[in-house]
Chain A
């Protein structure tokens, strides 16, 4: 009986304490959106990051802890465009939270607010795990981060009107610093233009387009299909003789395929952070792009 009382007490305490002090509870599906929410929300928000940079964003488990966090969220920010289709619908359907249902001010599908690349003209699973709304890995173009930032600020002002001026000034400050950073990155990355790159998965297309790189091919034969030994040896044949400058893999991907391909073709391999936390240098959104560019420049011959 005593133990039950302690348990009930602890539960009641949990319900009162934890994130309830902050004005707005934000559930961020992915690290980049958690970082953006922290930049824009400051100490008026409490951000829960549902996944980390070492996890494949397509394949997160709909864990009980995520359902519990979605339950108390005032705002959920995810990529959308079906990136989280294997897990987010379960969270939304079981959390019992009207505030974060799609269509509410408390739900942001970031990909809706940017120009998406690679919208398929032919929808067929024979093409692998393609997304009808286009390539969902939108965070790797900093212009997209800026656009999503504006949306997030507007939603924060709507949900937490009392602190609207605070969000507005944080947004102005962030957008200013971000705009300067973009100019700096674009100048810094100018020598990378035309760099021929072989990423593991089609998750860098926004970075590639922004910096003017050239995607030669992917290590995956089709999106979401891991390369077989046969496919890898075929790639070696196609890449021998200098058809590409660099092989790339994101932090969450198994290094084996990229490393062996790089060794056999003598093409350097680069590990890209992909999102905030993917590499020690990618501590925040600024670090994400600083590190991505410096890593690419380091391997450029």
Chain B
């Protein structure tokens, strides 16, 4: 209303101004009258336009949020999203006896978890641009035991050097394909056995990662990563400098409009210092053993996605496979709190999985995964020299774990998912475990974007 009044005053002033012209000849008066008329009409049109615009703005107050003043300091709140997850597990065998036979166990998420109802990890993600150069990303998880963990917390720059993206802080390592993807976006409830055996679940690195994307129409990415290397299969070493190093490369492209793929290769080297694990000796007494030495892993990964005409809404298929091989070379100490014998240790172990997930109609998907590990026969110096027998290292006996998993999931919307999964898990020595999971994954807050 105030604007209308101001305008009226302005128009009034325009009419008053020419008054001193009285007394001039007729032609001049006519001219002035015409001018005034023009002026008046011009103002009237403008007022009409302004009134219309005012009416329009009054009718839709919410449509121009950008023009309203920021309500408070909260206007700069970062994007926040929360994942709620949980499952009901029915496990044939006692999960306390779970082991991936033939492999030195790491700390971390190994095995199917506990029986009955379980609250999964609740995951809080906060992210925002920090300034024109950097963005920050923070993921905190709270597990069912009320333990809080910083899953990821990194700062990222993309493009200051063309094609280069740098991350530093704590991040999911760029090794392979699945490791970088958050658990809530996985196609199955749990990580493949090979990830559990070689990384203790998901490999996180406190360090720095740099990737360079080639300026080519085909996707060609090279990356390096280095860091503290304290996570299994490395260990905390109280040492200056970088304790792990990794290189990786990815290639990817489309094949027609319906298909696309990515292949990758990764190599990572780290060192472990007194990395302990529990075992029993040949007469069944618990002992603590420790490995010290180099741990090197290489792997290849492959993802293929199909959707008719590239439209993923109705039907789509995703095929994914990874192969990993780990070599450990160093010394193995037996019964560190007792006999404390130590000699050389060498192992070369491998594992792979293949999986497919097919969305056969909107909201519904089925999936199948098959995986195998090969423990090989580790070269244990203490056994070779005759100081001990193979029976003193029961966890390191030769074993080829296998697992077959099938799942069906239903997503009422993009933000919710329910999943039923069956697995026949033959990771233990000579013992199969039938596992049933009923899982839910819910996503609140900011709409997440998903990687390929």
Q: Name A residues whose Cβ lies closer than 8 Å to a Cβ of B.
A: 11, 14-15, 18-19, 51-52, 54-56, 59-65, 67-69, 71-72, 82, 85-90, 92-99, 101, 103, 115-116, 119-121, 125, 128-129, 133-134, 224-226, 252, 254
Contact status A121-B362, CB under 8 Å: no
Which residues in B have their C-beta under 8 angstroms from that of A87?
Answer: 449-450
Known: A56-B311, A64-B251. 5 other contacts (CB 8 A): A65-B219, A68-B219, A96-B213, A103-B132, A133-B65
> Nearest residue in B to A95 (C-beta to C-beta)?
B213
Question: What is the CB-to-nearest-CB distance from B313 to chain A, in angstroms, rounded to a whole number?
Answer: 5
Chain A contacts for B305, CB-based, 8 A? 61, 63
Which residues does B use to contact A, with CB under 8 Å? 60, 62-63, 65, 132, 135, 156, 158-165, 211-220, 250-254, 257, 260-262, 305, 307, 309-314, 362-363, 412-415, 444, 447-452
Contacts of A101 in B (CB 8 A): 158-159
Contacts of B444 in A (CB 8 A): 125
**Knowing A95-B158, A96-B212 touch, does A14 contact B309 (C-beta < 8 A)?**
no
* Residue ID in chain A nearest B444 by CB atoms: A125
Docked pose: A103 CA to B448 CA in angstroms: 21
Chain A residues contacting B449 (CB-CB under 8 Å) are 62, 85-90
Asked if residues A65 and B254 are in contact (CB atoms below 8 Å), the reply is yes
| Contact A85 to B213, CB < 8 A, known contacts A96-B165, A97-B163 | no
Interface pairs (29), CB distance under 8 Å: A11-B214, A14-B217, A15-B216, A18-B217, A51-B310, A56-B313, A59-B312, A59-B313, A61-B452, A64-B260, A65-B253, A67-B219, A68-B213, A68-B216, A68-B217, A71-B213, A72-B216, A86-B448, A90-B449, A92-B158, A94-B213, A95-B163, A97-B162, A98-B162, A99-B159, A121-B62, A129-B414, A226-B363, A254-B362
Chain B neighbourhood of A119, CB < 8 A: 60, 62-63, 65
Task: Identify which of B260, B415, B451 contacts A90 (C-beta below 8 A).
Answer: B451
Decide: A96 near B163, CB < 8 A? Known: A63-B254, A64-B219, A134-B63: yes
B311 touches A55 (CB 8 A): yes
Knowing A65-B253, A94-B165, say if A14 contacts B312 (CB, 8 Å).
no
Question: Hey, which chain B residues are within 8 Å of A56, CB to CB?
Answer: 311-313
Closest to B166 in A: A96
Whole-angstrom distance from the CB of B189 to the nearest CB of chain A?
23
> Which chain B positions have C-beta within 8 A of A226?
362-363
Distance of A176 Cα from B126 Cα, bound (Å): 47
CA separation between A96 and B163, bound complex, in Å?
Answer: 4
CB distance from A38 to the nearest CB of B (A): 18
Shortest CB-to-CB span from B152 to chain A, Å, is 14
Chain A residues closer than 8 Å to B252, beta-carbon distance: 63-65, 68
Chain A residues within 8 Å of B253, by CB: 64-65, 68
A159 and B341 CA atoms in complex are apart in Å by 70
A19 to B261, CA, bound (A): 22
- Verify B310–A64 contact, CB threshold 8 A: no
Measured between beta carbons, the chain A residues less than 8 angstroms from B220 are 11, 68
Q: Nearest Cβ distance between residue A56 and chain B, in whole angstroms?
A: 5
CB distance from A205 to the nearest CB of B (A): 13
A134 CB to nearest B CB, Å: 7
The residue on B at minimum CB distance from A225 is B413
Q: A61-B305, A119-B63 are in contact. Are A67 and B213 (CB under 8 A)?
A: yes
Q: Which chain A residue shows the least CB distance to B133?
A: A98
List A contacts of B312 (CB < 8 A): 55-56, 59-61
Give Cα distance in the complex from A129 to B313, angstroms: 14
Asked whether A86 lies within 8 Å of B450 as measured between CB atoms, the reply is yes
A90/B159 contact (C-beta < 8 A), A67-B213, A96-B213 known = no
Contacts of B257 in A (CB 8 A): 52
Tell whether, in the assembled complex, residue A14 and residue B216 are in contact, meaning their CB atoms are under 8 Å apart.
yes
- Given known pairs A93-B156, A252-B311, the reply for A125 and B254 (CB within 8 Å) is no
Hey, which chain A residues are within 8 Å of B218, CB to CB? Answer: 14, 65, 68
Q: Which of B65, B413, B448 has most A Cβ within 10 Å? A: B413
Contact A86 to B63, CB < 8 A, known contacts A11-B220, A55-B310, A68-B216:
no
CA gap between A96 and B215 in the complex, in Å: 10
Which residues of B have CB within 8 Å of A93? 135, 156, 158, 165
Give B435 Cβ to nearest chain A Cβ, in Å: 31
Q: Is the CB of B262 within 8 A of A129?
A: no
* CB of B447 to closest CB in A, whole Å: 5
Which residues from chain A contact B362 at a C-beta distance below 8 Å? 226, 254
Are A52 and B254 in contact, CB atoms less than 8 angstroms apart?
Answer: no
User: Of all chain A residues, which has the CB nearest B448?
Assistant: A86
Q: Are A52 and B213 in contact (CB under 8 A)?
A: no
Question: Which residue of chain B is the closest to A112 with respect to CB atoms?
Answer: B66
Q: Which residues from A are CB-within-8-Å of B307?
A: 61
Contact between A86 and B60 (Cβ–Cβ < 8 Å)?
no
Q: Which residues of A contact B313 (CB under 8 A)?
A: 56, 59, 252, 254
A128 contacts across to B, CB distance below 8 A: 413
Instruction: Tell me the bound Cα distance from A3 to B193 in angstroms.
Output: 35
Query: How far apart sit A86 and B412, CA to CA, in the bound complex (Å)?
Result: 17
| A residues in contact with B212, CB < 8 Å | 96
Are A64 and B311 in contact (CB-based, < 8 A)?
A: no
Distance A231 CA – B415 CA, assembled complex (angstroms)? 20
- Nearest opposing residue in chain B for A133, CB measure: B65
Provide the residues of chain B in CB contact with A72, threshold 8 Å.
215-217
Task: With a 10 A CB-CB cut-off, give which of B215, B254, B307 has the most chain A CB atoms.
Answer: B215
Q: A49 to nearest B CB, angstroms?
A: 11
Q: Report the minimum CB–CB distance from A279 to chain B (whole Å).
A: 14
- A64 and B162 within 8 A (CB): no
Contact status B219-A61, CB under 8 Å:
no
Complex alpha-carbon distance, A60 and B307, angstroms: 10
Q: Contact partner of A69 among B60, B164, B217, B412, CB < 8 A?
A: B217
Q: Which residues of B contact A15 (CB under 8 A)?
A: 214-216
- Please, which residue of chain B has its CB at the minimum distance from the CB of A254? B314
Note all chain A residues with C-beta closer than 8 A to B415. Answer: 125
Closest chain A residue to B163 by CB distance? A96
What distance in Å separates the Cβ of A21 from its nearest Cβ neighbour in chain B? 13
A69's closest neighbor in chain B, by CB?
Answer: B217
Shortest Cβ distance from B315 into A: residue: A254
With A and B bound together, what is the CA distance between A56 and B314 in angstroms?
10
Residue of B nearest to A86 (CB): B449
Contacts of A86 in B (CB 8 A): 414, 447-450
